[in-house]
Amino acid sequence: MYEGLSRGETMPIARHLSLITLDGVKDLIARKVDFTCRYELVGGTGDGKPLYQCIYVVGDEELILVAAKVQKHGPKVRHFAVWPGLVNHHTNYGDGRPVSIDLDIRNAPEGDGGSDGDLG
């Protein structure tokens, strides 16, 4: 069900997501493009704190937030811890709606997601 990416990151292979960087999100905001965003639980840190990835939805297209710098094996999905990462990201680059998140890492997909060192 999951295909391994660099450094143990996983992403469902049944979904086709486009990529977006923070600069791309800033561009959406500057152009006043309507979008929504959601945070998907992807696993936990070594100390059991949940990690999330951010999905932006523009029209019918889903875009996963990736780091601007491309790594050796391709784009790196940005992961967020709840505080301050996810809260700050949503405050600055969210869709204006209150955010609702799942804090229980037992509900995460197979694998722990691991810390990727980019806790936005």
Token code pair at residue 55: 């999905």
Task: Enter the pTM of the model.
Answer: 0.74
Residues 6+ apart with CB under 8 A from 1: 12, 13, 14, 110
- SS3 state of residue 74: strand
Q: What separation in angstroms does the CA of 89 have from each of 1, 54, 82?
A: 29, 9, 10
* pLDDT (0 to 100) of residue 15: 67
- Half-sphere exposure at residue 66, Cβ-oriented, CA atoms within 13 angstroms: 18
What is the mean predicted confidence (pLDDT) over 80-90?
A: 88
- SS3 state of residue 50: strand
Lowest-pLDDT choice from 65-79, 84-98, 102-116: 102-116
Chain-centroid distance of CA 117 in Å reads: 13
pLDDT digits (tens, 9 = 90+) for 14-46: 567 899 999 999 999 999 999 999 999 888 888
How many C-beta atoms surround the C-beta of residue 43 within 10 A? 23
Amino acid at 51: L
Amino acid at 29: I
pLDDT at 1 over 80: no
Token code pair at residue 82: 């709840």
Burial class (CB in 10 A: 0-12, 13-18, 19+), 96: exposed
